[in-house]
Amino acid sequence: MSTDPFSEILKFTSAESLLTGGFTAGGAWAIRFPAPEKIKFFAVVRGHGWVLIDGEPAPLRFDTGDVGLIAAPRSFVLASEPGVEPIDAMAVFAGTNGTAQLGDGRDFAHIGGHVLLDPASGKLLADVLPPWIHVPASSPHASNFRWLLDQLMEERALDQPGTQLVSKHLAQLLFIQILRAHLKTSRPMPAGWLRALGDPRIAPAVRLMHGEPARDWHLDELAAACAMSRTSFALHFRTVAGITPLAYLAEWRMRLAERSLREHSTPVAGIARALGYTSESAFSSAFKRMTGQSPKAYRNAARTVG
């Protein structure tokens, strides 16, 4: 089976989605949520509402089946209509199990959760996400979202044996589908590894580098894998990823090295060999150039924090 860099990075960052609650509402209502400390996702499962995100010029309408994700630390308001005075979310959910009702609860239903990331490696994902993502129910991904939302609502309603585990896996699938929809968006994405993973022209080269990061890859090999000339490949890769192919490989090697230094006791020389460096000194120089620390200093600092 070929390497799947997207799955690999999600595992690398320890991305874990959790469904945390929701609410129903009727009549005029508005709730202000504090700036999230974690990536937050939510979906409208009945009715429609408006999302007003601090720093954005206009409110966003969310209809039934629409899914949103907020990655920036910005407070936001969910409301029946713009202009309704919001109440604080802490007051709404105080003393509840994460589920609340405003008014008669007949007009609107919402579920939400957040994504946990590894404190160290999680920045790799968090830093490339836009402040917010809105996936409308009318998008090509609507059928996948509709099925997941239906299943999540059924699990919450029936509370069957294994509901917590099933809900966790469904929430994880929902998060992955949000990212997939973002990768296929028609809007321009900033250059970076996330955009590179979604670009079919350079995907073969990215898979090769993730599959064998220790190999001494040459530009000609990677270009040939993408059926492109060396010049065209190098130019397109840099446009999409923001860096050259070999710089991308070097950065991924450093991410793998950081994980090994944090989580394992493998000697630095062993990590260097595993990542394709000819000597410990060559690896140490490359690591310090990219991270600002020597491998041993990085390991000691990680253990002190841990």
3-class SS letters over 71-96: CCCCCEEEECCCCCCCEEHHHHHCCC
Closest C-alpha among 263, 254, 264 to residue 286: 254
Express each pLDDT in 48-92 by its tens digit.
999 999 999 999 999 999 999 999 999 999 999 999 999 999 999
Distance CA 230, CA 246 (A): 13
State mean pLDDT over 198-217. 94
Distance CA 296, CA 97 (A): 45
pTM confidence score:
0.84
Distance CA 27, CA 102 (A): 8
State mean pLDDT over 150-172. 87
Residue 125 backbone phi and psi in degrees, to 5: -90, -45
Measured between alpha carbons, how far apart are the two ends of the chain, in Å? 35
Confidence at residue 283, expressed as pLDDT on a 0 to 100 scale: 96
Where do the H-state alpha helices sit in the chain? Answer: 5-12, 89-93, 123-126, 142-158, 163-183, 193-197, 203-211, 219-225, 230-241, 245-263, 268-274, 280-291, 295-305
- With bands split at pLDDT 50, 70 and 90, how would you rate the model's confidence at 204? very high
Q: What Å distances lie between residue 228 and 7, 209, 225, 233, 235, CA to CA?
A: 26, 17, 8, 6, 11
Express each pLDDT in 69-81 by its tens digit.
999 999 999 999 9
> Can you read off the two tokens belonging to residue 189?
């994405």
Distance CA 77, CA 89 (A): 9
> Can you read off the two tokens belonging to residue 97?
């199990």
Residue 187 has pLDDT above 70, yes or no: no
